[in-house]
């Protein structure tokens, strides 16, 4: 399993353990892809997963720059147009997964409401 896919599996398991329901994985539109769409009792989270071996040089969330944020917003609009939200408040989260590929994740950080749309 490649590092990115491994990180997405680890992030999904982490979110589920925190009480989230995973509604979609790798949701794609012509504007981009959202790694995970998850919900809890209050929020609909559009989750970008960033997987790195470590944060030695920079935090993984640094890769979610303004251009990536624009693509995520456009893709989320596609999700919202096709799926009812049941009065859930949408937000954009980033989950950082650090660890050796294929092994158990060493560290997972969930950055809720990582950026505004």
The pLDDT confidence band at residue 40, using thresholds 50, 70 and 90, is very high
The pLDDT value given to residue 57: 75
Using the predicted structure, report yes or no on whether residue 114 has a pLDDT greater than 70. yes
Sort 43 into a burial class: Cβ within 10 Å, 0-12 / 13-18 / 19+.
Answer: middle
- 61 close to 52: Cβ distance less than 8 angstroms: no
The pLDDT confidence band at residue 54, using thresholds 50, 70 and 90, is low
> DSSP readout, 67-78?
HHHHHHHHHHHH
Using the predicted structure, report yes or no on whether residue 39 has a pLDDT greater than 60. yes
Fold type of domain 3-115: Trna Endonuclease; Chain: A, domain 1 (3.40.1350)
The domain ranges of the chain are 3-115
């Amino acid at each position: 399993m490649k590092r990115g896919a491994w990180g997405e599996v680890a992030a999904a398991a982490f979110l589920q353990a925190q009480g989230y329901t995973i509604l979609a994985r790798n949701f794609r539109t012509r504007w981009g892809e959202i790694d995970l769409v998850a919900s809890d009792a209050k929020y609909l989270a559009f989750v970008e997963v960033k997987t790195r071996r470590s944060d030695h040089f920079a935090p993984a969330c640094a890769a979610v720059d303004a251009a990536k944020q624009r693509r995520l917003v456009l893709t989320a609009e596609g999700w919202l147009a096709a799926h009812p939200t049941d009065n859930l408040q949408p937000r954009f989260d980033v989950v950082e997964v650090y660890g050796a590929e294929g092994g158990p994740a060493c560290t997972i950080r969930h950055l809720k409401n990582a950026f505004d749309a």
